[in-house]
C-alpha cells in the first residue's frame, strides 16, 4: 500500500522527487520501515510550565526516498506531558492513530503535525493531552514537511507551497511555482526562507515571490532557523555545515563546519550532536565549546530551554530517554529527568 500511495503522490506532484518518478518507485517507503517495541521520542515543545514530548510506538520510519528527509515517525502516537516545567512526566496514549511528527507552541497552545500513510494533518491542543484536527490532510496537500512559528503566524510548507494561519483555525494556501522537495522553513521579520533536500534555498520578502539563493557545494538542507535578522542553514557538504545567511545581501556571511543541526537559545547556539555551545556576537558565531549533553531536539520558551536528550544521557539509566531543562536561557541545565518506563508491546 505504501508504495502505491507514494506512486500516486509522485504522479500528482513530481516536485516530491527532483529526479525521476519511475526511478523513485523502485525505492518504496516500506523499505525504510524499522519496527520497534519501544517509544521513540522525536519532538518537544513548551508553553509556560507545560512541556510535551511526542514519540511513536510500534513503528518508526525515515521518510523520503532512499530513507532520507521528510517526516520520520509513523505508527501510534505516545505523549509525555509535564505540568510542572519538566520535573515529572505522565505517559499518555492519546485517542489519535497518527504519529505526531512535530510540535510547536503558538498563542499559548500546542500545534502538531500528524503523519500517517494517508498524509499529514495539523492538530491543536491546549494541554498536550487532547488533540483536535484544525487542518486536514487534504488541506495540507497530503505532504506537509514542517510546522513553524514566525512573525505571529503558523506556517506549514509542503511540496506544493505552504499554508499560513494567524489563529491556528483558518489557513491560507499559497502555491509556489515548481514546488519544493522535502522543504523546511524559517521566518524572521518579513522574510520567509525555505530550504530543500536537493540543496536549494529560497527567500520571500513581504509576501512576495520566492527568489532562489546560491548555495555552492551544499546539498540536503535539513534545517533553517532564524538568528536575529539572519538565518542559519544546516546542510550537507563534505561534512555537516552551518551557513549564516544575511537576508539583506542574500549571501553567505559565515560558515561553520562539523556542526549542526542546532538550537538557538538566549545563551547562544547549541549543537545537537555534541551539546557544545557557541556564543553569538556582533561579529558572528563564536567557537563551539563543551557545555551540555548531546540531544535530539529542543524547544525554547523565553528563558526556559528544554532538551530531549539522546538515550543513555549522563545521570540516567542506560538506554533511557530524558528531558533536561534550563531556566536561565541555556546557560546551565538541571539534572536529566527520565521519561516514564516504556511499555513493551507484543
CA distance 277 to 285: 10
pLDDT of residue 312: 55
CA distance 97 to 131: 11
CA distance 306 to 328: 11
Identify which of 76, 62, 70, 74 has the alpha carbon closest to the alpha carbon of residue 32: 62
CA distance 3 to 284: 45
Least confident of 166-170, 240-244, 303-307: 240-244
Identify which of 207, 169, 173, 168 has the alpha carbon closest to the alpha carbon of residue 187: 207
The share of the chain scoring above pLDDT 90, in percent, equals 51
pLDDT digits (tens, 9 = 90+) for 28-70: 333 345 445 577 888 999 999 999 999 876 544 444 434 444 4
Does pLDDT of 250 surpass 70? yes
Cis omega before residue 261 (within 30°)? yes
pLDDT digits (tens, 9 = 90+) for 276-290: 999 998 889 999 999
| H-helix or E-strand spanning residue 304 | strand 304-309
Does pLDDT of 2 surpass 70? no
pLDDT digits (tens, 9 = 90+) for 139-180: 887 788 999 999 899 999 999 999 999 999 999 999 998 889
Identify which of 191, 75, 119, 120 has the alpha carbon closest to the alpha carbon of residue 111: 120
Answer with the residue of higher pLDDT: 12 or 150: 150
- At residue 44, the 3 state secondary structure works out as strand
Residue whose C-alpha cell reads 523546511 in the numeric block: 184
CA distance 10 to 24: 9
Greatest alpha-carbon pair distance for the chain in Å reads 56
CA distances from 75 to 33, 114, 178, 181 (A): 10, 10, 31, 23
Exposed / middle / buried, residue 100 (Cβ in 10 Å: 0-12, 13-18, 19+): buried
| H-helix or E-strand spanning residue 2 | helix 2-12
The share of the chain scoring above pLDDT 70, in percent, equals 79
Per-residue pLDDT band at 21 (split at 50, 70, 90):
very low
Contact (Cβ atoms closer than 8 angstroms) between residue 116 and residue 74: yes
pTM: 0.84
pLDDT of residue 149: 95
Beta carbons within 8 Å of 281's beta carbon, 6+ residues apart: none
Beta carbons within 8 Å of 344's beta carbon, 6+ residues apart: 37, 38
Residues in the chain: 346
pLDDT of residue 213: 87
CA distance 236 to 260: 10
Look over the chain and give the mean of its residue pLDDT values, rounded to a whole number. 81
Identify which of 217, 100, 202, 116 has the alpha carbon closest to the alpha carbon of residue 157: 202
59-61/33-35 β-pairing = antiparallel
Written in H, E and C, the secondary structure of 97-160 is: CCEEEEEEEECCEEEEEEEECCEEEEEEECCCCCCEEEECCCCCCCCCCCCEEECCEEEEECCC
pLDDT of residue 73: 58
pLDDT of residue 340: 87
Contact (Cβ atoms closer than 8 angstroms) between residue 43 and residue 103: yes
Does pLDDT of 110 surpass 90? yes
CA distance 161 to 117: 20
Residue whose C-alpha cell reads 532562489 in the numeric block: 212
pLDDT of residue 346: 44
CA distance 198 to 154: 24
pLDDT digits (tens, 9 = 90+) for 167-213: 999 999 999 988 899 999 999 989 999 999 888 899 999 888 999 88
Contact (Cβ atoms closer than 8 angstroms) between residue 215 and residue 235: yes
CA distance 299 to 104: 8
Amino acid at each position: 500500500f505504501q508504495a502505491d500511495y507514494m506512486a500516486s503522490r509522485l504522479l500528482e506532484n513530481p516536485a516530491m522527487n527532483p529526479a525521476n518518478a519511475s526511478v523513485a518507485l523502485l525505492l518504496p517507503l516500506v523499505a525504510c520501515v524499522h519496527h520497534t517495541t519501544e517509544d521513540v521520542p522525536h519532538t518537544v515543545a513548551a508553553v509556560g510550565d507545560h512541556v510535551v514530548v511526542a514519540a511513536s510506538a510500534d513503528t518508526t520510519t525515515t521518510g523520503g526516498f532512499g530513507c532520507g528527509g521528510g517526516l520520520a515517525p509513523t505508527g501510534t502516537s505516545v505523549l509525555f506531558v509535564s505540568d510542572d516545567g519538566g520535573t515529572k512526566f505522565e505517559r499518555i496514549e492519546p485517542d489519535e492513530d497518527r504519529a505526531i511528527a512535530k510540535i510547536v507552541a503558538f498563542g499559548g497552545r500546542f500545534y502538531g503535525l500528524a503523519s500517517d500513510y494517508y498524509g499529514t494533518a495539523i492538530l491543536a491542543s491546549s494541554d498536550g493531552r487532547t488533540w483536535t484536527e484544525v487542518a486536514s490532510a487534504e488541506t495540507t496537500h497530503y505532504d506537509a514537511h514542517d510546522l513553524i512559528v514566525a512573525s505571529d503566524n503558523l506556517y506549514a510548507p509542503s511540496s506544493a507551497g505552504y499554508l499560513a494561519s494567524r489563529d491556528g483555525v483558518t489557513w491560507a494556501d499559497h502555491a509556489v511555482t515548481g514546488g519544493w522537495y522535502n522543504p523546511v522553513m524559517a521566518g524572521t521579520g518579513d522574510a520567509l526562507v525555505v530550504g530543500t533536500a536537493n540543496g536549494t534555498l529560497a527567500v520571500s520578502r513581504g509576501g512576495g515571490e520566492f527568489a532562489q539563493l546560491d548555495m555552492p557545494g551544499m546539498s540536503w538542507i535539513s534545517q533553517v532557523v532564524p538568528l536575529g535578522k539572519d538565518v542559519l542553514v544546516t546542510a550537507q557538504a563534505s561534512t555537516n555545515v552551518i551557513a549564516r545567511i544575511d537576508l539583506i545581501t542574500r549571501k553567505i556571511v559565515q560558515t561553520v563546519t562539523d556542526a549542526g543541526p542546532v538550537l538557538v537559545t538566549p545563551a547562544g547556539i547549541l549543537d545537537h550532536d555534541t551539546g557544545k555551545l557557541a556564543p553569538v556576537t556582533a561579529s558572528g558565531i563564536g567557537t563551539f565549546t563543551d557545555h551540555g549533553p548531546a540531544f535530539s531536539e529542543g524547544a525554547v520558551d523565553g528563558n526556559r530551554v528544554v532538551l530531549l536528550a539522546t538515550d543513555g544521557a549522563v545521570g540516567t539509566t542506560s538506554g533511557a530517554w530524558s528531558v533536561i531543562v534550563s531556566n536561565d536561557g541555556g546557560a546551565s541545565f538541571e539534572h536529566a529527568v527520565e521519561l516514564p518506563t516504556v511499555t513493551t508491546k507484543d
